[in-house]
Amino acid sequence: DEVSVCCPTDESTDKTVSFSRVSAVATEWMFDYFFVSLCRCFKERKRDEFNEMLSVFEVISENESLKGTTIHEKTLICALLVRVIDGKCLDELFDKDRSIMPLMSAAKVWLELKDTVSDESLFKSITNHLLIQSVAVCLEKGQTISATCSIEWFKKHVDIPRSLARNLSTIVQKKETYHSLFNNFSLNRLMETIQTFLDSYLKKHPSDYLLKAATKVAQSAPEIQSSEEAEPQDDTFSKSSRTSVQKKKRRKRNLLSTLTDVWTPEPVAEPFVCIRRLSKHELSQMTSPAKFAETSTAPMKRRKWTSKLDKFLEQGVRRHGVGKWAQILNDYDFEGRTSMMLKDRWRVLIKSHQVG
């Protein structure tokens, strides 16, 4: 179970290393590759691609050879990103406590990452931003009680300015869904601020070894076309791809759990923080399996596009332009729909002459 490796020395001597060691190094490179890819998808607002990468990242991250503080930090960062991306989807669950919404859960993970943030003002800015958007999303969906609960949860678990909490409570009482505070601290701006943190972290912890190696290979073989260049994008393929992605999206995913140190060998009784989304089945097994058994067989109803959602879509196109589906998705609550679904709906509205 050993591999012979030629060391890059003047004497060109041979050394043998165990295959498990070689495998561990390769696994860490793949882990870093998917970590960087997830950061890129987050930056470019490619939610569908992000979710596809996420499932692979989860499998790799469970490898026992991956240990150390940096691995733990990168895993938590991905946990933060998926919660922020799903910030407006209140039906997405990451904790067994159903009252904890995605952005509240993101705040829990963000606290775990405090030591990785060198700029204290940036840490506080993102913390406050998560609170503001958590309240904004609830008001946008008409859930004033949830908005109030969100403020109380942050006051209890997170160090936030009292003045900000009071201001938000007043906004909730008056039901000012479109208050200027929410416009100044939008979800898009939150993602841009988090991107500042990501850029700083990646600069301090380079994770692009595999990407650089792949770039050299690609540059040395320019005649090899990428799959996007080689294969025509016909309508049939696009539709089947969209169908496949939508089916995958219906299955909730879990991403790693780690409020405690996942590499501690002793058994841990404390609850984990889930990076991936919890499915109803998993959640029911944590809480009440018997109750879930009674309801799990009920078929899911396909949600229809309402006039309100069509209005959101039309307003988004006017603001950002056709094709900016990811940006439009972040500005409004489309009840869990993807950017591809927005694109398809826009085509339907155009064909039916409902929009100009």
How far apart CA 289 and CA 291 sit, in angstroms, is 5
**Average pLDDT of the chain, as a whole number:** 79
pLDDT of residue 279: 59
The ranges of the chain with pLDDT < 70 are: 1-15, 222-302, 356
Look up residue 94 and give its DSSP letter. Answer: -
pTM of the full structure: 0.65
337: three-class secondary structure by DSSP: coil
What separation in angstroms does the CA of 230 have from each of 52, 224, 227? 22, 9, 5
Give yes or no: residues 102 and 209 share one domain: yes
Question: Residue 237 falls within a domain, yes or no?
Answer: no
Domain limits at 349?
Answer: 304-356
- Structural domain count, the chain: 2
Q: What CATH number does the domain containing 66 carry?
A: 1.25.40.210
* Collapsed DSSP state (helix, strand, coil) of residue 75: helix
Q: CA-to-CA distance for 160 and 327, rounded, in angstroms? A: 28
Q: 3 - beta bridge partners? A: 17
- Same domain flag for 60 and 197: yes
- Residue 146's pLDDT is 93
Q: What is the DSSP letter of 314?
A: H
Are 314 and 258 in the same domain? no
Task: Examine the domain organization and report whether 286 and 331 are in the same domain.
Answer: no
Residues 315, 256: one domain? no
Rounded-to-integer distance, Cα 76 and Cα 104, Å: 15
Task: Assess whether 208 and 313 both reside in one domain.
Answer: no
Confidence (pLDDT) at 275: 63
pLDDT, residue 42, reads 95
Query: Are 328 and 316 contacting, i.e. CB atoms less than 8 angstroms apart?
Result: yes
Please name the residue ranges forming H helices in 141-271: 144-157, 162-174, 180-184, 187-204, 209-220, 227-230, 235-250
Element (H, E) at 2: strand 2-6
Specify whether 66 is located in the same domain as 187.
yes
pLDDT at 284: 59
User: Quick one: CA dihedral 78, 79, 84, 89, positive or negative?
Assistant: positive
Residues 6+ apart with CB under 8 A from 73: 113, 116, 201, 205
User: Which residues neighbour 55 within 8 Å (Cβ) at sequence distance 6 or greater?
Assistant: 253
Of 24, 27, 26, nearest to 60 (Cα)? Answer: 27
Q: How far apart are CA 240 and CA 271, in angstroms?
A: 39
Provide the CATH number for the domain around residue 352: 1.10.10.60
Kindly state whether residues 55 and 175 are assigned to the same domain: yes
The span from the CA of 326 to the CA of 306, in Å, is 20
Give a yes or no: residue 227 inside a domain: no
pLDDT score of 16:
81
Q: Compute the distance between CA of residue 257 and CA of residue 61 in angstroms, rounded to an integer.
A: 11
Give the phi and the psi of residue 18 in degrees, each rounded to 5. -65, 145
What are φ and ψ of residue 3, in 5° steps?
-125, 135
User: Residue 273: what pLDDT?
Assistant: 57
Mark whether 52 and 185 lie in a shared domain.
yes
